[in-house]
């Protein structure tokens, strides 16, 4: 009876405790699953992780997680959608030069509203279509940095004239660094040096400033297209845990109950919502 009444968090922590007591060592997947369980996280994005969670959670608990409603974002305005459909449709999709020409005309029309969403959308479309020729037939062999910089410019346009700023270049998430310090204090660890804990190194961190202090908003990771599955899974799990840590702090501040983050493999991505 007690086993049946165990909550999702109870079952995750029990599984983590069992793994920690295992003296035979961990495989890569076991390490990933144990760290997720310790963070009370159920990863439903990865097809490799779902079977594991099916073994420790009840069917009703898995169903409840799968059916959990995700907060809707505002998205594009009706004006933006109408212009997008006018620019890109079945009759124009095979004519990128014609699309670019019409985009330039529209940009001239809206250039007095450079802070508007519609002008940003036009700039992003222009950049994406202009990049078509940059994607080589050997896309699988392109480095993570090559793929990342093509998307970074789009995010720069999206966040222009907002309070959201982007930090890139394997930077450290301040949230995870602060949590490392707190956990060391709880564990009674006393450092003999003045060096701060590293925290998680992230490809791109969305941040904002409040009362002169910087706060993390989301962690976003990139991997090259042909990265091996073990690295992809490990990096994805790290990214999920980092975003959960960021969300936990934002919840304590009373700011939001969800965040959006990205996890890329080449030109494929997962858009994650942490709740």
Residue 72 lies in a domain: no
266 with 172, same domain: the answer is yes
Looking at residue 273, what is its pLDDT?
62
- Residue 256 Cα distances to 48, 71, 157, angstroms: 30, 11, 24
Count how many domains the chain has: 3
Contact 248, 264 (CB under 8 A): no
Q: Does residue 215 share a domain with residue 176?
A: yes
Q: How far apart are CA 198 and CA 171, in angstroms?
A: 10
Check whether residue 62 and residue 90 sit in a common domain.
no
What's residue 84's pLDDT?
94
pLDDT per residue over 128-148, tens digit each? 998 887 776 666 677 788 888
Looking at the fold, whether 220 and 251 belong to one and the same domain comes out as yes
Same-domain check for residues 196 and 126: no
**Are 46 and 100 within one domain?**
no
**pLDDT of res. 60:** 94
256 token code pair: 């939001």
Claim to verify: residue 178 and residue 266 sit in the same structural domain: yes
Q: What is the DSSP string of 22-66?
A: -TT---HHHHHHHHHHHTT----S-TTTHHHHHHHS-HHHHHHHH
CA-based nearest residue to 250, from 208, 222, 221: 208
> 231 pLDDT exceeds 50?
yes
* Predicted confidence (pLDDT) at residue 275 exceeds the cutoff of 70: no
Evaluate whether residue 149 is within a structural domain: no
Say yes or no: 174 and 263 in one domain.
Answer: yes
- Cβ distance 241 to 226 under 8 Å? no
Q: Does 118 share its domain with 200? A: no
Is 20 inside any structural domain?
yes
CB 147 within 8 A of CB 266: yes
Question: Residues 248, 183: one domain?
Answer: yes
pLDDT at residue 1 above 50?
A: no
Q: Residue 241 falls within a domain, yes or no? A: yes
Whether 91 is covered by a domain: the verdict is: yes
pLDDT tens digits for range 71-108: 677 788 999 999 999 999 988 888 989 999 999 999 99
Whole-number pLDDT of residue 63: 92
For 178-202, what is the mean pLDDT?
Answer: 67
Same domain, 59 and 100: no
Average pLDDT, the chain: 85
12 has a pLDDT exceeding 80: yes
Which domain covers residue 208, as residue numbers? 162-274
User: Given a cut of 80, is residue 69 above it in pLDDT?
Assistant: no
What is the band of 2 on the pLDDT scale with cuts at 50, 70, 90? very low
In a domain, 225, yes or no: yes
Same domain, 241 and 182: yes
Look at residue 148 and tell me if it is in a domain: no
Please tell me the pTM assigned to this model. 0.82
Asked, for residue 153, whether it belongs to a domain, the answer is no
pLDDT of residue 222: 87
Residue 228's pLDDT band, with cuts at 50, 70 and 90, is confident
């Amino acid at each position: 009876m007690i086993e049946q009444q165990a909550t999702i968090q109870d079952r995750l922590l029990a599984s983590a405790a069992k793994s920690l007591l295992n003296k035979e060592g961990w495989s890569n997947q076991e390490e990933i699953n144990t760290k997720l369980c310790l963070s009370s996280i159920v990863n439903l994005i990865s097809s490799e992780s779902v079977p594991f969670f099916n073994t420790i959670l009840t069917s009703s608990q898995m169903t409840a997680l799968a059916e959990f409603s995700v907060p809707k974002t505002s998205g594009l305005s009706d004006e933006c959608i109408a212009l997008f459909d006018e620019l890109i449709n079945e009759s124009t999709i095979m004519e990128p030069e014609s699309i670019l020409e019409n985009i330039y005309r529209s940009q001239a029309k809206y250039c007095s509203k450079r802070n508007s969403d519609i002008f940003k959308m036009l700039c992003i479309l222009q950049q994406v279509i202009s990049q078509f020729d940059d994607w080589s037939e050997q896309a699988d062999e392109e480095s993570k940095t090559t793929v990342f910089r093509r998307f970074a410019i789009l995010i720069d346009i999206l966040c222009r004239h907002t309070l959201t700023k982007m930090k890139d270049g394997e930077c450290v998430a301040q949230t995870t660094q602060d949590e490392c310090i707190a956990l060391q204090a709880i564990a009674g660890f006393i450092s003999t040096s003045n060096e701060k804990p590293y925290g998680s190194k992230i490809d791109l961190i969305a941040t904002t400033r409040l009362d002169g202090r910087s706060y993390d908003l989301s962690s976003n990771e990139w991997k090259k297209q042909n990265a091996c599955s073990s690295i992809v899974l490990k990096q994805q799990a790290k990214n999920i845990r980092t975003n959960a840590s960021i969300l936990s702090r934002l919840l304590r501040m009373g700011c939001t109950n969800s965040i959006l983050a990205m996890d890329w493999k080449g030109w494929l991505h997962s858009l994650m919502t942490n709740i």
